[in-house]
């Protein structure tokens, strides 16, 4: 398999002193493929995401992008390396309009993206018609589903090499969640590498090319979707160390 776009190599990380949330974690994300990460609440999945995108520096080990060490690099510069994060919580500016939120990431980098901003903006509105009618509305006034669509539209504007996606379907109606998962599939089809975390274990397994199971800050199992065949819930419960 080609070199991963994004990799975590034996990373240990935590928030306070000698309290480690992640312990010797390794995983990788490849171009055009979805890596799924599943585990219980509190397993360390969101901490892993924050470590990958620079909010939390590793205590040991390293994070690499196309083989280059980016461990602890400032999170606001990760876009320049082709890394984008769609968090579980909203990253929108609620008092800015939909149009302003959508353009913000590239407007601040006109020297790099100036030639493509307008074309990408027009294309994004065609791809996300639900936002086309809301351009003058403040982002905070949108419904939950519309806000999540705006998060994905921002990622589509940027066209990162790797997109980290944390719990995209939480709180969404089933129809909207289905649309969001369809967008994740399209992102991967375009060549983007995806790291996906979601509470819908079956959906993550069915969409992913490779799955990692996390428990208590460690990767306890990994494999292809075929390795998860059979009684998925029983298998995952066993791997997570849950007694029946």
Same domain, 154 and 164: no
User: Which residues, other chains included, contact 113 with Cβ-Cβ below 8 Å and sequence gap of 6+?
Assistant: 106, 120
Domain finish residue from 99, 124, 159 = 159
- Residues forming beta bridges with residue 60, ordered by sequence position: 12
Strand, helix or coil at 16? Answer: strand
Same domain, 71 and 97: no
CATH of the domain at 17: 3.40.50.300
Same domain, 141 and 175: no
Same domain, 7 and 56: yes
Number of Cβ within 10 Å of residue 16's Cβ equals 7
Same domain, 44 and 151: no
Same domain, 130 and 192: no
Spatial distance between the Cα atoms of 121 and 141, rounded to a whole number of angstroms: 21
Tens-digit pLDDT profile for residues 33-82: 999 999 988 899 999 999 999 999 999 999 999 999 999 888 888 888 89
What number is the average pLDDT over the span 101-120?
83
Q: Chain-centre distance of CA 18, in angstroms?
A: 27
Same domain, 152 and 206: no
Domain that holds residue 105: 89-159
Q: What does DSSP assign to residue 58?
A: -
- Residues forming beta bridges with residue 62, ordered by sequence position: 9
Which uninterrupted H or E stretch holds 106?
Answer: helix 98-107
Spatial distance between the Cα atoms of 97 and 52, rounded to a whole number of angstroms: 29
Q: What's the pTM? A: 0.92
By mean pLDDT, which of 9-18, 86-95, 205-214 is the weakest? 9-18
Same domain, 99 and 131: yes
Domain finish residue from 159, 180, 199 = 159
Strand, helix or coil at 152? Answer: helix
Is-contact 220 240, C-beta < 8 A? yes
Same domain, 6 and 62: yes
Same domain, 243 and 144: no
Same domain, 191 and 150: no
How many domains does one find in the chain? 2
Distances, alpha carbon 162 to alpha carbons 13, 17, 37, 122, 182, in Å: 21, 30, 15, 23, 17
Same domain, 4 and 67: yes
Tens-digit pLDDT profile for residues 157-212: 999 999 999 999 998 999 999 999 999 999 999 999 999 999 988 899 999 999 99
Domain finish residue from 141, 159, 177 = 159
Angle between helices 144-158 and 98-107 (to 10 degrees): 20
Strand, helix or coil at 185? Answer: helix
């Amino acid at each position: 398999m080609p070199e991963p776009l994004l990799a975590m190599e034996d990373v240990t990380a935590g928030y306070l002193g000698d309290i480690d949330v992640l312990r010797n974690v390794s995983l990788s994300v490849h171009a055009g493929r979805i890596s799924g990460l599943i585990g219980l609440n509190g397993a360390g999945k969101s901490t892993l995401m924050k470590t990958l995108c620079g909010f939390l520096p590793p205590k040991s080990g390293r994070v690499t992008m196309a083989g280059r060490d980016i461990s602890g690099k400032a999170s606001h510069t990760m876009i320049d390396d082709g890394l984008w994060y769609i968090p579980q919580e909203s990253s929108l500016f609620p008092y800015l309009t939909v149009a302003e939120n959508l353009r913000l990431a590239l407007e601040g980098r006109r020297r790099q993206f100036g030639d493509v901003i307008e074309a990408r903006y027009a294309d994004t509105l065609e791809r996300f018609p639900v936002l086309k009618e809301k351009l003058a509305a403040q982002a905070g006034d949108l419904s939950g589903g519309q806000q999540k669509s705006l998060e994905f539209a921002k990622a589509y504007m940027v066209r990162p090499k790797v997109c980290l996606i944390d719990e995209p379907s939480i709180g969404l109606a089933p129809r909207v969640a289905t649309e969001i998962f369809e967008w994740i599939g399209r992102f991967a089809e375009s060549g983007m590498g995806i790291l996906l975390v979601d509470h819908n274990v079956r959906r993550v397994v069915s969409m992913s090319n490779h799955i990692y199971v996390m428990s208590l800050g460690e990767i306890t199992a990994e494999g292809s979707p075929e390795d998860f065949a059979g009684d998925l819930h029983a298998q995952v419960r066993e791997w997570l160390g849950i007694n029946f």
